[in-house]
Amino acid sequence: MKILAVIALIAIALLAFRAISFAGTQPKIGQPAPDFTLPDANSQAHKLTDYAGKWLVLYFYPKDDTPGCTKEACHFRDDLTQLEKLGAKVVGISVDDSGSHAKFAKKYNLPFPLLSDKDGKVADSYGALTNLGIIKIAKRYTFLIDPKGNVAKIYLSVDTSRHSQEIIDDLKKLTTK
């Protein structure tokens, strides 16, 4: 009987967690990407329109300087030349503040902007926010945005060790159509 009660309690907790952590609706492939204006590590504002005419790899990540986020960012850093040859820019977004981004970027020599979405509104507009009440965390989602500002591909299941190569492969396919 105790086992059934524990299982029921766990099930209720999981359902409550899902309800609390509900994020906004994700944009659909072919739709315009949600607009944003966010500060980078140097408090310089970046807007979606700044990247018009180029492919944009817009990746959301949970936390600066954690193992998975570091691995993902360093792979983007190491593959940046290939991505840029394909006409793409890389931008990372988390709910960490600009100071945290500055330390993270300096520590790992990250040459692309990391944007601070302190209130989580941009992550929410992309359906990439886990909201636990007082704690908000960006989900590890990536959106490949085409030069016209439309969502071309959405990555909801990211393997940090090969994600940048996956995007390179997809960009090669998308740019040769």
Catalytically active residues, by annotation: 69
Residue 13 burial by Cβ neighbours in a 10 Å radius (0-12, 13-18, 19+): exposed
Q: Kindly give, in sequence order, each residue whose CB lies less than 8 Å from that of residue 65, ignoring residues fewer than 6 positions away.
A: 100, 103, 104, 107
- Helix ranges (H only) for the chain are 2-20, 67-78, 80-85, 98-108, 121-125, 163-175
The amino acid that residue 68 corresponds to is G
Cα separation, 109 vs 125, in Å, equals: 29
Cα separation, 83 vs 89, in Å, equals: 7
The amino acid that residue 101 corresponds to is H
- Helix ranges (H only) for 22-143 are 67-78, 80-85, 98-108, 121-125
